[in-house]
């Protein structure tokens, strides 16, 4: 009888711990790390932009929230409050990639080297189309 | 919708050309900041969007804002997921916008450096619902740069956003919206 109670207690405690762990993980799970994410699509900046320009709804269905690896020519680099914003193809009608501060810190060396007219490959989440295609949580794949 | 951006640009480009003749100017940004805050005793929620597009045309004092809902970033990954999937439904309504005018335009001189209080009336569209608002803001003119700042409050219920009773205590009835934009003069 005593043994049974003890075993029961152990299971109860383990159950509680597992429950609390699951709860904690669900509410405090970290953001996905773009470095580790496989790109859903790999495209040229020009093609990505045309897809949106031709049929925005269709492009939204295909790309919205997806991880996209995009290759294009740098036309602008802007730094603001630790974020890097890299514009590909065209400043207003192109692809704008935001390298958020935490990634910018990790990739500082490579970001400092990027210049206008470089061809780069960059990976990030597609947020949609508004004065060009917008990506964020970006990391530079190759320069 | 498809060539919308191009037409807007051509239109603005024409206005910009016109501005060299008259004193009219167009200011714009494509990396403005809008954030929102919800504060309750149980939980604070904050989201930041650094990809806001905005234009101000000084002749009629018209201004427009556009943003992608998915560009709102939360510290907590689960909150971001819930915001996009359950509340803002960003797959269905990817954009939010504001169109309005400065109602006290005669009190603002865009050619003269200074800090001005602007009163703005316009319409916000979010989650497929449009609502008229009056917003106070501060405009700082400094050479050919313009800084716009504003704080105002919105109710999720006005935008047809239903908050389930389980989390109701964690989400404020009124959400604080912060706008902070550095405009450049538009020339192409």
Question: Which residues in chain A are closer than 8 Å to B51, comparing Cβ atoms?
Answer: 96, 98, 127, 130, 134, 136
| pLDDT value of residue B141 | 95
Residue A33: closest C-alpha in chain B: B77
| pLDDT value of residue A91 | 87
Q: pLDDT (tens digit, 0 to 9) for every residue of chain A, 143 residues total?
A: 688 899 999 999 999 999 988 888 878 888 999 999 999 999 999 999 999 999 999 999 999 999 999 999 999 999 988 899 999 999 888 999 999 999 999 999 999 999 999 999 999 999 999 999 999 999 999 88
Q: Among partner residues B3, B30, B188, which is closest to A131 by beta-carbon distance? A: B30
pTM for this predicted structure: 0.85
Residue B5: closest C-alpha in chain A: A131
Q: How confident is the model at residue B3 (pLDDT cuts 50, 70, 90)?
A: low
CA B15 to CA A99: how far, in whole Å?
Answer: 33
Q: Degrees (nearest 5) of the Cα angle B143, B146, B151?
A: 150
Q: How far is CA B140 from the centre of its chain?
A: 17
| pLDDT value of residue B143 | 86
* CATH hierarchy code of domain B25-185: 2.40.128.110
Q: The complex's ipTM?
A: 0.85
Question: Which residues in chain B are closer than 8 Å to A100, comparing Cβ atoms?
Answer: 73
- A46: phi then psi, degrees, rounded to nearest 5: -55, -45
CA A71 to CA A47: how far, in whole Å?
Answer: 10
Residue B78 to residue A29, Cβ atoms within 8 A: yes
| pLDDT value of residue A17 | 92
Residue A90: closest C-alpha in chain B: B188
CA A99 to CA B96: how far, in whole Å?
Answer: 22
Question: Which residues in chain B are closer than 8 Å to A22, comparing Cβ atoms?
Answer: none
pLDDT tens by residue, B19-52: 444 568 999 999 999 999 999 999 999 999 999 9
Chain B: closest CA distance from residue A20 (Å): 16
| pLDDT value of residue B19 | 47
Cβ-Cβ pairs closer than 8 A, A with B, add up to 82
Q: Among partner residues B31, B73, B95, which is closest to A128 by beta-carbon distance? A: B95
Structure tokens at B150: 């504003």
| pLDDT value of residue A98 | 95
CB B63, CB B54: distance < 8 Å: yes
CA B57 to CA B83: how far, in whole Å?
Answer: 33
Residue closest to A53 by CA, chosen among A3, A12, A90: A90
Q: How confident is the model at residue B186 (pLDDT cuts 50, 70, 90)?
A: confident
pLDDT at residue B64 greater than cutoff 50: yes
């Amino acid at each position: 009888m005593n043994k049974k109670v003890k075993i029961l207690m152990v299971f109860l405690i383990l159950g509680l711990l597992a429950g609390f762990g699951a709860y904690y993980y669900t509410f405090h799970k970290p953001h996905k790390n773009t470095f580790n994410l496989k790109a859903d699509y790999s495209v040229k900046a020009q093609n990505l932009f045309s897809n949106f320009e031709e049929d925005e709804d269709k492009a939204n269905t295909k790309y919205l929230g997806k991880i996209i690896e995009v290759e294009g020519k740098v036309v602008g680099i802007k730094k603001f409050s630790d974020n890097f914003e890299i514009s590909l193809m065209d400043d207003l009608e192109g692809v704008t990639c935001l390298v958020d501060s935490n990634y910018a810190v990790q990739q500082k060396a490579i970001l400092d080297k990027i210049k206008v007219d470089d061809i780069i490959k960059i990976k990030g989440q597609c947020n949609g189309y508004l004065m060009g295609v917008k990506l964020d949580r970006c990391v530079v794949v190759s320069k | 919708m498809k060539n919308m951006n191009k037409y807007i640009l051509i239109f603005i480009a024409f206005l910009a050309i016109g501005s060299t003749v008259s004193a009219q100017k167009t200011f714009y940004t494509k990396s403005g900041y809008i954030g929102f805050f919800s504060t309750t005793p149980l939980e604070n929620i904050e989201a930041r969007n650094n990809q806001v597009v905005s234009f101000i045309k000084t002749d009629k004092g018209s201004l427009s804002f556009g943003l992608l809902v998915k560009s709102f970033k939360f510290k907590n990954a689960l909150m971001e997921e819930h915001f996009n999937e359950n509340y803002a439904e960003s797959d269905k309504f990817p954009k939010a916008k504001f169109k309005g005018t400065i109602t006290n335009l005669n009190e603002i001189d865009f050619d003269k450096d200074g800090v001005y209080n602007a009163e703005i009336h316009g319409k916000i569209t979010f989650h497929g619902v449009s609502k008229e608002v009056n917003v106070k803001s501060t405009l700082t003119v400094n050479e050919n740069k313009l800084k716009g700042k504003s704080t105002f409050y919105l109710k999720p219920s006005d935008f047809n956003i239903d908050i389930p009773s389980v989390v109701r205590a964690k989400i404020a009835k009124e959400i604080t919206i912060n706008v902070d934009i550095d405009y450049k003069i538009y020339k192409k």
